[in-house]
Amino acid sequence: RFEFCEPAFVVGNCLEIASDSHQYDRIYCGAGVQKHHENYMKILLKVGGILVMPIEDQLTQILRTGQNTWESKNILPVSFAPLVQPNRNNNGKRDTVGLPPCAVRNLQDLARIYIRRTLRNFINEEMKAKGIAQKAPPKRKRRRCRRLRINTYVFVGNQLIPQPLDSEEDERMEDDNKEEEDKDHSEVLKAEEPPRNLLREKIMSLPLPESLKAYLTYYREK
């Protein structure tokens, strides 16, 4: 359904990023940035990129408009814990954090994305022509708790003995509860059925080798 790249995670201090790291289109910092680290964070932006970070108790949005020009505006007042300051190792040097390289997709991956997008658009046009609206998957309903049956108590001597209340109203309530439970159970079973994957069906019907079909039906190589 989606064609965004797989995220990559790196553990380390963002104030120790290697100097040869590439720049980014979007950056968000989830901790308070000290004023003397502001320029360090802005250098990580590409021209046209946007940086959002809390600085001096203000959530600030910074747009890089040129090599040496930025536009900043305050969004709202906030209170964040400050960034952890970098530590030096035993040799007195900082441990730099290496970020993953920016890899360009290969031709095979780009072709797969284009084919899937073309088939998806074709399916959407078919559904619109037939007047079929795309429905979201049904939500699972909560199963209702069964009501407790009311008992009566009879004194026999010094003892209190519970006795069932056998009445037509109580039996009707029990039958209604049973019908509701059966109905909820059948709805849950229906909701658990996987939705129909039209894109997969369209791919499998194409006159292509099985290896290519398997490649097209998965977003990433398994």
CATH architecture of structural domain 1-103? 3-Layer(aba) Sandwich (3.40)
Comparison of pLDDT for 199 and 192, the residue scoring more: 199
* Residue 114 confidence (pLDDT): 86
3 state DSSP class of 132:
coil
pTM value is 0.51
- Residue ranges of the domains in the chain? 1-103, 104-132+208-221
Instruction: Give pLDDT tens digits for 87-134.
Output: 776 666 667 888 888 777 788 888 888 888 888 888 888 888 887 766
Give the pLDDT of residue 222: 42
Distance CA 196, CA 201 (A): 9
Q: Burial of 219 by CB count in 10 Å (0-12 exposed, 13-18 middle, 19+ buried)? A: middle
Closest CA to 53 of 72, 67, 70: 72
State pLDDT tens for residues 42-64.
Answer: 999 999 999 999 998 899 999 99
Q: Residues 97, 100, 101, 102: is their CA dihedral positive or negative? A: negative
* Cα 86 to Cα 39, 51, 81, 95, 167, distances in angstroms: 16, 21, 15, 9, 76
In this predicted structure, what is the pLDDT of residue 171?
Answer: 58
Identify the pLDDT of residue 172.
63
Q: Flag whether pLDDT at 176 surpasses 80.
A: no
Continuous H helices in the chain: 38-43, 107-129, 168-192, 198-204, 210-216
Q: DSSP string covering 10-41, please?
A: --S-GGGB-TTPPPEEEEE--SBBPGGGHHHH
Pairing status of strand 45-55 against strand 58-64: antiparallel
Q: Does the pLDDT value for residue 203 go beyond 70?
A: yes
Residue 221: pLDDT band by 50, 70, 90 thresholds? very low
Please state the rounded mean pLDDT for residues 152-169. Answer: 56
Integer Rg of the chain from CA: 31
Mean pLDDT calculated for residue range 140-165: 55
Read off the pLDDT of residues 80-99 as tens digits, 9 standing for 90 and up.
Answer: 999 988 877 666 666 788 88
Q: CA–CA separation, 203 vs 39, rounded Å?
A: 50
